[in-house]
Structure 1
Amino acid sequence: MAALVVLAVLLLTETAISQSDTHANYPNIPNHCRGSLPTSDFIKNRNSTLDDLRMQLVSKRVLYARAQNLSGGNLVFAQAQCRNYLSVDRCVECINIGVFNILKCTVGDSAYVFLDDCSVRYEAFADFYNNPNVNEEPDGVTGFSICGNLSASQPLSNYSQIVDDFLSDIRDATPKTSNLYVANIRRIANENATVYAVAQCAENINQTICQACMNIAYNKLKECLPSTEGKYFDNACFAKYSETPLFSDNQTIDITNILKGVHSSKVAMIVGVIGGLVLLFLIFVLCLFRLRKTSKKTEQEDLNRTLNYNYKDLQLATNNFSEENILGKGGFGEVFKAIIDDKNVVAVKKLQVQDVRAKEDFVNEVKLISNVHHRNLLRLLGWSIEGSDLLLVLEYMANGSLDQFLWGAKRGTLDWNQRYEIILGIAKGLAHLHNEFHVKIIHRDIKSSNILLSDDFKAKIADFGLARFQPEEETHVNTKFVGTLGYAAPEYALRGVLSEKVDTYSFGIVILEIISGRRSTDINSDRPSMEYLLEHAWKLYEKKLHIKFIDETLNLNEYQQERVMKITEIALLCTQSPASNRPTMSEVVLMLQNDRSLGERQLTRPTFMQNQDRRIHIASSMKNNGVSNV
């Protein structure tokens, strides 16, 4: 037995050396590593978890196992799976080879290895076997195929067509079996050949994910024809065909009845699609007819789409809007904590009504956020108008606003991972407003106090009272300035030029605050020349000392320091002038997620607005634009 293991390892090693040989007997990906450099405690947890996998296979006499070790906060989730045609002893042999190769991963805290007969995987950041939606890499690509170097004899077209049909049947049948596994043979009479095929999805995934993976596997294996062998490997599934026997004849799975159901359902689906198209056409004609007879809806009808709360109920729930229930105050009103129906905690925003404009702002906010749904945008639950009182009922965020964690009472309690997730969440929320909604929405007042945190510290963008629609055909609009100085882009604060890049600039300032733990407008004596945060960050960047910009309360390892410095550069990119040099928020999301550098982009000195400059230029801008107050 030991000799077999040694021989298999030697074969694997030989395969790994020949990187160009795509037709090797073993897949040429023994060590796929990613993530951060593992600590000694993590390696200890990983090794014990992999040992646990093998113990389960042996003791329980099974072909699939999963294990985890969460000791000391060094999370490790792992799984091992063998093909169902193996005996348990052969399965353990294969897993031993997989573990031997996966332990070569010394530069990452997550890895997987694919072999013909089994696969082994561990992750440090995701419970992938309880959450099948994380079976893929962050970039969505794990699968690869290997084609044999021998082709079938003539006629090739006949051989390719028969094997193609066979692979199509395997693709359709695998997700329909109880254990997501199929092994079958197809005899080709005029070739005097027998083709073996096996397909298996990971045991922890559902039928839908299995079908999606098998569709990809089929397309990849089809490209191998007329080769007599092809393999497809993925974290979600495995598929292979070959003229070399893969299993004994008594281990085949009868898929005849399964395919009958699949084929009949396809016919029903085609009929259903045709019928559905006809029905949709009739509905479209009917709707068009009704639209021509219906006048435009009023603003009040738009408001009725959300829940209209009773004013007295909200007054009671907030204890008559008492001081002890206040969650926060702003230029547009106060926010109160409220308990509705004796159990549901919500936030009630009470707008201060001074003139007709206040009601317009209220209607604007309700219209906007009642139609915007995203996990990083605060959700509107309802509203109320009674006399001069305008109320919004919003999600309650137990952890309050971000600024409290950066320089408020809770300063220093956010670690780097939490701060990174907050930065990414804000970016995703803004990208949704700018590009993924049916109209472009510019928030205009992105700042740390308008970022709320949920129980698990997920960021939610709040306060849409200043948001504006941007016409699709226009690159920017000219308007009077409303917002918060210190976060506002120069072209907007000084000249009233408004585009989505105004939010990008403000987001860059918020990143700098999150990284440094300092307010953008603070003037601290430890900064040279009493500069503001942006100028301070730029000068450190110019001197290649931006590591000194990091919040002193953060205890970062070397990898985290490097990452924070890259994100500092992204923040500076967001504050570039002119606005055309700034990235879109969708580009920012990609840079943050994929840990990308700035590429060919060159950073230039941002436009700094000092306190005295703000007073002079804003006053001039106000005069020219007829703005009475900011």
Structure 2
Amino acid sequence: MPAALAVAVIIVLAVIDVGVAQQPISNTNTALRFACGTNDAMSLATFSRNLNSTFSQLRSQLSNTGVYYAQAQNFVNGDAVYGVAQCRNYLSSTQCLACFDVAVSTIEPACGSANGANVILDNCFLRFENYDGFYKDPQGSSDVDVPAICGNESTSEPITAFNQSVEKLLSDIRDATPRTSDFYIASTRQVGSATNATVYAIAQCVENASNTICKNCLNTAYNSLSSCLPADEGRAINVACFMRFSEFPFFQNNQTINLIPFLAKGSSSKSGMIIGVSSGAGLLLLLLALFLWFRHWSKSKAVGKGDALDASELQGAKCYSYQDLKVATNNFSEEYLIGKGGFGEVFKAVVDGGNIVAVKKLHVGFRAKKEFENEVNLISNVRHRNLILQLGWCIDGPELLLVLEYMPQGSLDKFLWGEKKGTLNWKQRSEIIFGIARGLVHLHGEFHVKIIHRDIKSSNILLDSDFQPKIADFGLARFLPEDQTHVSTRFAGTMGYTAPEYAIRGHLSEKVDTYSFGIVALEVISGRNCSDVNDSGPRTEYLLDRAWELYEKGIPIKLIDEAIDPNEYQEEGVKKIIEIALMCTQSPASLRPTMSEVYIMLSSEPELEQRQMSRPTYIDVDRRIHIGGSCE
């Protein structure tokens, strides 16, 4: 048996759970807590219009796949209404909206004309006030320390083993959650070693809160929940965070998040898989896809009547016919063309009775069609608000086709140095940098398969109607043909964005994406292409050269795009992001932070811990090496 196949089989056998059916999911949308404000609106008619409009906007945002947090506001003619809603990340969009609707129907009759209210359910929460301060500080003046809601029954498992397992699991998710990109963790733990029982737990903070507020709230929640033991379930409810444990499953087994990257600084999951390294990796993914299909099939066979599995457990992508996509794009005509890239052309299309999508034509011929299908089906289960959703594929025509969600604003590069140059303000740019970081954190450590993108660049960042970024082309780098001008036999990437150790020696790790993120962040700040040369000074300077030179002189703020209004930003905040970007481009790769560490730094106070840094190494488009640190 070849070594790669042996390793793949060992990994698959290590995680396969043959013949054990997932228990029915235990979830309800019963209100756990609600509170109404003590003051009435000034004008009930105006207040009602603003409240209904706010609820409508929140619901519209939550209807988008991968969106679990929404905020909206309306203040026409006074009686302002500021609202937030958040769903648990294990829900499908349909389930999220169902919970939101219950929340609305709970608040409206109970609170009448009160100009503030909040309601917390197992699956979501909803809050509105007549002020916006709680967006950044969700605790506000109305929050109190609420006792945990404990189950009425004691655990059926050995009490000591159960208590120890629950306390360790809750402790781990308490510590890990503030370090994730969206303040959310779902995890499981086996109860002792002499039983097959499992305990399930989640923790979630209000996404727009600060890291400090999240930590403090979860510490309180952990202490509160500990008092529930040995009850078989418990919930800690607070307007800033929510924590829950249960003997009974309330999310699917494949919806857990790897805790390791968020518990030990600098550690990474050794069991994660790198998509696109070699044919062995492709085979491994094939086996994993088959395993997931087998597990899904075995569960469906084992589940009895009335215990149907949630359709969101393993949704997969849809297989489209080539003829239908050909018609939808008018035979892939120029008038439908919306973009070109290393993978091929992208066309706008309308499918499935009115849905606008993007169809990407991949120039890879018939190579590895079945492998392509299995990988795309697997990657289609990666759902995050900062990652492009892959809706389907087609393999029955002369090209391989991907069907993706449509991004109306197009790619980021158009707004930095293309036809829409200079139109992004600082708030939009900073949110784009944060969003890219969030998406990479999810790819590297929050999905059950580790995915290294390998080609992060501004043209692979797409913007939705609200200018929120979505990373495109993740997991598909291995399908790039080797005759592309920016692709060699040693790596798939784009010169200027590619980490030196990968471009020179083929050394691939998640730190390759960290390097590329740093370059893109500098592009967003400066509005300048990393490959453009500045010949106006005494020597030729690329963007990374310029950023480092200004950093050494203590004036990194001069890197910022002159098109941005100076009144829109604080210099310390911009300086911090530039410093983080330069940390990301350090060599060797061990000096770079992980993306989870990057996101924590971006979310923290402006002051950064001082680090010794050296001039970064840069590989230009002509493959010339600008030496800084080691390329090993």
TM range (shorter): 0.5 to 0.7
* 1:586 aligned residue: 596
Counterparts in 2 of 1:563 and 1:320: CA distance versus 1, 3 Å? same
Counterparts in 2 of 1:419 and 1:571: CA distance versus 1, 3 Å? same
2:341 corresponds to 1:327: no
How far residue 596 of structure 1 moved from its aligned partner, in angstroms, is: 4.7
User: What amino acid is aligned across from residue 403 of structure 2 in structure 1?
Assistant: V
List aligned pairs for 1:464-613, cutoff 5 A. 464=474, 466-467=476-477, 480-557=490-567, 560-610=570-620
How far residue 301 of structure 1 moved from its aligned partner, in angstroms, is: 7.3
How far residue 312 of structure 1 moved from its aligned partner, in angstroms, is: 1.0
User: What amino acid is aligned across from residue 463 of structure 1 in structure 2?
Assistant: D
* 2:406 aligned residue: 396
Counterparts in 2 of 1:582 and 1:372: CA distance versus 1, 3 Å? same
Whole-Å Cα distance in 2 between the matches of residues 380 and 336 of structure 1?
A: 14
Residue identity over aligned pairs, in percent, reads 55
Deviations 1:407-453 (A, max 9, x none): 01111111111111111111011011111111211100000000000
1:317 aligned to which of 325, 328, 336: 328
Whole-Å Cα distance in 1 between the matches of residues 342 and 430 of structure 2?
A: 29
* 3-state SS of 1:441 partner: coil
Counterparts in 2 of 1:380 and 1:484: CA distance versus 1, 3 Å? same
* 3-state SS of 1:523 partner: coil
Contact 1:311 1:385 in 2 (8 A): yes
User: What amino acid is aligned across from residue 128 of structure 2 in structure 1?
Assistant: Y
Contact 2:452 2:475 in 1 (8 A): no
Counterparts in 2 of 1:522 and 1:371: CA distance versus 1, 3 Å? same
How far residue 171 of structure 1 moved from its aligned partner, in angstroms, is: 7.0
* 2:128 aligned residue: 129
List aligned pairs for 1:125-524, cutoff 5 A. 129=128, 216=220, 305-354=316-365, 356=367, 359=369, 362-363=372-373, 366-464=376-474, 466-467=476-477, 480-524=490-534
How far residue 517 of structure 1 moved from its aligned partner, in angstroms, is: 0.2
Whole-Å Cα distance in 1 between the matches of residues 428 and 571 of structure 2?
A: 15
User: What amino acid is aligned across from residue 309 of structure 1 in structure 2?
Assistant: Y
Deviations 1:554-592 (A, max 9, x none): 002385222111101110010011100100000111111
Whole-Å Cα distance in 2 between the matches of residues 221 and 503 of structure 1?
A: 38
Whole-Å Cα distance in 2 between the matches of residues 214 and 614 of structure 1?
A: 50
Contact 1:317 1:340 in 2 (8 A): yes
Deviations 1:297-319 (A, max 9, x none): 76997999421112111111101
* 3-state SS of 1:557 partner: helix
Aligned residues: 394
Counterparts in 2 of 1:433 and 1:133: CA distance versus 1, 3 Å? farther
* 2:210 aligned residue: none
Whole-Å Cα distance in 2 between the matches of residues 57 and 355 of structure 1?
A: 65
Whole-Å Cα distance in 2 between the matches of residues 428 and 598 of structure 1?
A: 19
Contact 1:361 1:466 in 2 (8 A): no
* 3-state SS of 2:456 partner: coil
Contact 1:441 1:467 in 2 (8 A): no
* 1:284 aligned residue: none
Counterparts in 2 of 1:465 and 1:296: CA distance versus 1, 3 Å? closer
Counterparts in 2 of 1:355 and 1:213: CA distance versus 1, 3 Å? closer
User: What amino acid is aligned across from residue 379 of structure 1 in structure 2?
Assistant: L
Whole-Å Cα distance in 1 between the matches of residues 127 and 598 of structure 2?
A: 27
**Which stretch of structure 1 is more off in the superposition, 527-536 or 395-404?**
527-536
**Which stretch of structure 1 is more off in the superposition, 404-413 or 304-313?**
304-313
* 3-state SS of 1:386 partner: coil
- Structure with bigger helix share is 1
Counterparts in 2 of 1:599 and 1:138: CA distance versus 1, 3 Å? farther
List aligned pairs for 1:34-49, cutoff 5 A. none
* 3-state SS of 1:530 partner: coil
Whole-Å Cα distance in 2 between the matches of residues 315 and 512 of structure 1?
A: 39
Counterparts in 2 of 1:383 and 1:457: CA distance versus 1, 3 Å? same
Contact 2:425 2:568 in 1 (8 A): no
Counterparts in 2 of 1:365 and 1:326: CA distance versus 1, 3 Å? farther
Contact 1:401 1:451 in 2 (8 A): yes
* 3-state SS of 1:391 partner: strand
Whole-Å Cα distance in 2 between the matches of residues 392 and 371 of structure 1?
A: 14
How far residue 234 of structure 1 moved from its aligned partner, in angstroms, is: 8.0
Deviations 1:141-185 (A, max 9, x none): 999999xxxxxxxxxxxxxxxxxxxx97x9789xxxxxxxxxxxx
Q: Which runs of 5+ in 2 are unaligned?
A: 1-36, 45-49, 52-72, 85-114, 118-125, 152-203, 207-215, 228-236, 254-286, 295-313, 480-487
Whole-Å Cα distance in 1 between the matches of residues 626 and 572 of structure 2?
A: 39
Whole-Å Cα distance in 2 between the matches of residues 139 and 528 of structure 1?
A: 52
* 1:24 aligned residue: none
Whole-Å Cα distance in 1 between the matches of residues 535 and 371 of structure 2?
A: 39
Counterparts in 2 of 1:335 and 1:458: CA distance versus 1, 3 Å? same
How far residue 387 of structure 1 moved from its aligned partner, in angstroms, is: 3.9
How far residue 537 of structure 1 moved from its aligned partner, in angstroms, is: 0.6
Contact 1:444 1:483 in 2 (8 A): yes
Counterparts in 2 of 1:406 and 1:209: CA distance versus 1, 3 Å? closer
Deviations 1:199-257 (A, max 9, x none): xxxxxxxxx999x999959967999xxxxxxxxx98679xxxxxxxxxxxxxxxxxxxx
Deviations 1:29-77 (A, max 9, x none): xxxxxxxxxxxxxxxxxxxxxxxx99958999xxxxx9988599xx995
Contact 1:378 1:461 in 2 (8 A): yes
Whole-Å Cα distance in 2 between the matches of residues 76 and 331 of structure 1?
A: 46
* 2:28 aligned residue: none
User: What amino acid is aligned across from residue 335 of structure 1 in structure 2?
Assistant: V
Counterparts in 2 of 1:314 and 1:220: CA distance versus 1, 3 Å? closer
| Max Rg structure | 1
User: What amino acid is aligned across from residue 433 of structure 1 in structure 2?
Assistant: L
Whole-Å Cα distance in 2 between the matches of residues 457 and 502 of structure 1?
A: 26
If the length of structure 2 is used for normalisation, what is the TM-score? 0.52
* 3-state SS of 1:328 partner: strand
Whole-Å Cα distance in 2 between the matches of residues 425 and 376 of structure 1?
A: 6
Whole-Å Cα distance in 2 between the matches of residues 560 and 76 of structure 1?
A: 28
**Which stretch of structure 1 is more off in the superposition, 593-602 or 344-353?**
593-602
Q: Which runs of 5+ in 1 are unaligned?
A: 1-52, 61-65, 80-118, 122-126, 147-166, 174-207, 224-232, 238-268, 281-294, 470-477, 622-630
Higher relative contact order, structure no. (Cα contacts within 8 Å, ≥ 6 residues apart): 2
User: What amino acid is aligned across from residue 455 of structure 1 in structure 2?
Assistant: S
Counterparts in 2 of 1:402 and 1:361: CA distance versus 1, 3 Å? farther
Contact 1:346 1:394 in 2 (8 A): yes
If the length of structure 1 is used for normalisation, what is the TM-score? 0.53
